[in-house]
Amino acid sequence: MFSDGSFKVSEGTLAFAPGSSGWSRGDSGEPLRFLELFLRGGSAWERFGRPRVNQQVTRIA
């Protein structure tokens, strides 16, 4: 699911949404935020088999 915020995601749903962390662009001051992959009420890391940092994750149907 794609969402504009994590609080709109139902428990047990895997989602991709803008996070609360980020920084301001120096030249324009535009706020830039990280996008987060998360499992509401669980662990996306566990769902994807505990991947290592920088490990490529692929979808298996």
pLDDT value of position 60: 66
Please report which helix (H) or strand (E) contains residue 57, including its range. none
Give me the residues paired with residue 38 across strands: 15
Q: How many domains does the chain have?
A: 1
Give the residue numbers spanning the domain of 33.
Answer: 1-61
Q: Render pLDDT for 16-43 as a digit per residue (tens, 0 to 9).
A: 888 778 888 888 888 888 888 889 899 9
pTM: 0.61
User: Is 36 in contact with 21 (CB distance < 8 Å)?
Assistant: no
pLDDT value of position 4: 63
d(CA 55, CA 34): 18
Supply the DSSP symbol for 10.
P
